[in-house]
Structure formats: C-alpha cells, structure tokens
Amino acid sequence: MAHPYFLVLAYAGAAFHGWQVQSAHRSVQGELWSAIRKLWIDAPMPQGAGRTDAGVHAKEQGVLLWTQKRWDAYRLLAALNAHLSPDVRVRAVQEAPYGFFPRHHAVAKRYVYRLDEGPSANPFLESRRWHLYGAAPIDREAMLNAASGLIGTHDFSTFRCKECSAPTPVRTIFDIRLESMGTEFNLVFEGDRFLMHQVRIMTGTLIEIGRGKIKSERVSEMLNSKNRKLAGPTAPPEGLYLEKIWYSPEWGIGEAIPSTLGA
C-alpha cells in the first residue's frame, strides 16, 4: 500500500527546463522522481500543484508523492534531500490525506516578479531578477494604476501565450501590488489560478507602461480585445517566483487562506 506525503519544494529554476518531466532535458519533477526512486524503485511520478516554465523559480511548490512505507516526516525530508542537487530542496513534509491532489485542490496562488533597475546590473542578482537598464527610473505609480485594471474576474486571453491549453481563459486576480526597495522592486500577483505565461505577460505590459511606451488606460482595451498582440512583451523567466500556494481548508494542508484572497 502506498503512503501519500505532501512536500513543500523550493528550487532555483535557472538550470531547469521547467517543472514538468522531459525526456531530453533536466526538469524539477524528473529530478525529484529520481530521488524518490532511490528510496522506492517503483515510486509513482510525484505530482505538483502547477507547472513552472524553464528558468522560473519556486519557493513553495506543492508536491504529492507516495512511498512504499510510512516515514517520519523529518527522515523523509532528509532522505530526499540527500539525493537531490543543491538547487532543489524539500523544505517541509507532512502526511497527506488520501484523495488530496495539489493541482486540483489549490485555491489561490501568489507569484512574485522581482526586478531591478538602473544603468548597471548587480552581478549577484544574475538569474534572480530582471534588470531594467536605463538612466531614467520606471514610473512605478503608472504601473500600479494600470495594474488595478487587471484585478477582478476577467477573460485573460490577451495575457496568455498561444501554446496555453487551459480550457478557459477566465481567471480571478485578487490583488496586484508593488513592493519597493530602492532600485529593486517586486510585483506581487495573487489569484485563483494563472494561465501559461500570464504573470510574465502582465509584467512585461506593466513595464512598458512604466517606461511610457503604453498608456495605463489601455489595460481595459487590452482585456476587452482578447488579442495577445495588444499586450506588452513576455518578461524573461529569471525574475519570476512561485511564492505561495493555498489549498482547500478541509484537507488540512498548509496555512489557512488569508481573508484578503477572497477564497
């Protein structure tokens, strides 16, 4: 009988071709599967709460895996980490109830896009933030004003890539906020679910607004058009982090959902 466990997994995405297992490229799912198979050769493939693109990082990816025997949580964490490379780590382990599935029972997610600006990039932030070169600062107030138009339930066809296979483009954004730290700043996105490349396209669009290349009042027009060509470019992957996931409370997994998320 297989025993289900829920893991909180963190990884630096620079050397991975995304979460999903691939035959010819290194993936987070593939690496974790290899580690669990060191403990149980017939272990099923671990399942994540969602996919991340190549180069995207995660601080709290939720993962369900199964073991052949019951483990003490700390011993399982240590055993898995002993077989993982330093750029991916199990951060927490708990037994999971039968029937729980992270992808199906996630009700809210937080993504953070980390940026830095100025005439010179910080070499210690390479592959960790998107550096925006320029002598003039980005208009962060204009970005925030535009972001308010993205909050709510909308058809986000304009902000998804053509390869996105989601059955519906309708998503709910609970909040978008900007956290400033001198030349560094973060865009925080909280929503029920996100489409493929949605956060990166929204970030690229907001940056173009901050640079004065797109007017902030055009966000409503973009949404209504359902036309990807009207939005800004897709931001590069290195600044994006899957920061937090909340699950349906009846499963007893993770932290309680903040009331601000409307879930």
Q: What is the CATH number of the domain that holds 34?
A: 3.30.70.580
> Which residue's entry shows tokens 């995304």?
18
Q: How far apart are the first and last CA of the chain?
A: 34
pLDDT in tens, 59-93: 999 999 999 999 999 999 999 999 999 999 999 99
Q: Give the other-Cβ count within 10 Å of 126's Cβ.
A: 11
Residue at 181 is within a domain:
yes
Q: Are residues 196 and 69 in the same domain?
A: no
Q: Give the other-Cβ count within 10 Å of 207's Cβ.
A: 22
DSSP string, 12-44: -GGGSS-SS--SSS--HHHHHHHHHHHH-TTPP
53 assigned to active site? yes
Q: Are residues 173 and 83 in the same domain?
A: no
Is residue 1's pLDDT more than 80? Answer: no
Q: Are residues 126 and 62 in the same domain?
A: no
Number of domains in the chain: 2
What does the alpha-carbon distance between residue 229 and residue 45 come to, in Å, rounded to a whole number? Answer: 37
Over the chain, what is the mean pLDDT?
95
Candidate list 42, 53, 116, 175, residue with the active-site label: 53
Q: Are residues 58 and 123 in the same domain?
A: no
Q: Are residues 134 and 77 in the same domain?
A: no
Q: Of 65, 100, 135, which residue is a domain's last?
A: 100
Percent of the chain with pLDDT strictly greater than 70: 99
Is residue 262's pLDDT more than 70? Answer: no
Q: Are residues 220 and 117 in the same domain?
A: yes
Q: Is 156 helix (H, G, I), strand (E, B) or coil?
A: coil
Q: Are residues 12 and 64 in the same domain?
A: yes
User: Which of 30, 17, 93 lies closest to 62 in space, CA to CA?
Assistant: 93
Residue at 188 is within a domain:
yes
Q: Give the other-Cβ count within 10 Å of 115's Cβ.
A: 23
User: Which of 205, 193, 204, 189 lies closest to 236 in space, CA to CA?
Assistant: 204
**Burial of residue 217, with CB atoms counted within 10 A of its CB: 0-12 exposed, 13-18 middle, 19 or more buried:** exposed
pLDDT in tens, 144-177: 999 999 999 999 999 999 999 999 999 999 999 9
pLDDT in tens, 98-156: 999 999 999 999 999 999 998 989 898 888 999 999 878 999 999 999 999 999 999 99
User: Which of 42, 39, 38, 13 lies closest to 28 in space, CA to CA?
Assistant: 13
Residue at 256 is within a domain:
no
Q: Is 68 helix (H, G, I), strand (E, B) or coil?
A: coil
Q: Are residues 170 and 234 in the same domain?
A: yes
Domain containing 234 equals 106-244
Where does the chain have alpha helices with state H?
28-39, 73-82, 102-105, 140-147, 198-210, 219-225
Is residue 259's pLDDT more than 90? Answer: no
Q: Are residues 235 and 215 in the same domain?
A: yes
